[in-house]
Amino acid sequence: MARHYAVAPDYFPAHLVRALRREALLRHRRGEFHHAGIGRGQEQHRNTQVRRDRTRWLDGSTLAQCRLLDEMEHLRLAVNRALFLGLFDLEAHFAVYDPGAFYRRHLDAFNGNNGRVLSAVLYLNEQWRDDEGGRLRLWPDPDAATPVMEVTPRAGTLVCFLSDRIPHEVMEASRQRLSIAGWFRCNNSTALAPDPAR
Ligand SMILES: O=C(O)CCC(=O)C(=O)O
Ligand SMILES: [Fe+2]
């Protein structure tokens, strides 16, 4: 049976991950992160019972971001060639989880409502120890009660999974947890309802 997820340690070069981490920390210090909402557009609201991360969209304005977006573009094309997922574009944000922050079990898409097809998360945390928590827990399908996998958020690790198939949860950590979460989307646009990237 297909697994619908993949975990790749050291997927990105260490110097790129370090540059992205430095950028995330700098932007965070400058107050450029905002509490993440749930839902899209008008329905977007903040629910601190579900998620406590803060985020900042990537905009391609730095060399490190451009390098990453370049790599993600290669990945998009490779996935389309191998799996025919019809991935069209990518939206991605930096995310910071303060100690004790979490994101309870959820799916990133429901029946393609937001165009998100493939979720991709890159971790930016150097020297993360297992006992510091912050693991990403994955379930094998939307109805599953037993998790199938837990991923330590170690610098350079990339996790990909189908956005509407794999429930997942970010567990509390004892230290600040940095990541870049992205979603490859299909093209949902119609002439009447252009589908913005966010
Ligand atoms: O940071 C992670 O491990 C996953 C984040 C996540 O699930 C999300 O932002 O939707
Ligand atoms: Fe998610």
Output the CA 181–ligand 1 centroid distance in Å. Answer: 6
pLDDT of residue 189: 60
Instruction: Name the amino acid, one letter, at 149.
Output: M
Share of the chain above pLDDT 90, in %: 81
Output the CA 121–ligand 1 centroid distance in Å. Answer: 7
Assess whether the C-beta atom of 103 lies below 6 angstroms from ligand 1: yes
Assess whether the C-beta atom of 121 lies below 6 angstroms from ligand 1: yes
Query: How many Å from the N-terminal Cα to the C-terminal Cα in the chain?
Result: 33
Output the CA 107–ligand 2 centroid distance in Å. Answer: 6
**Rounded CA separation 192/82 (Å):** 32
ipTM: 0.99
Considering the four listed CATH numbers 3.65.10.10, 3.60.20.40, 2.60.120.620, 3.40.50.300, the one that applies to the domain covering 5-36+49-185 is 2.60.120.620
- Domain layout of the chain by residue ranges: 5-36+49-185
pTM: predicted TM-score of the whole model, two decimal places: 0.92
pLDDT digits 0-9 by tens, 26-80: 999 999 999 977 666 556 667 878 888 999 999 999 999 999 999 999 999 999 9
- Nearest in space to 88 (alpha carbons), one of 96, 103, 77: 77
The tokens of 164 are what?
């509407």
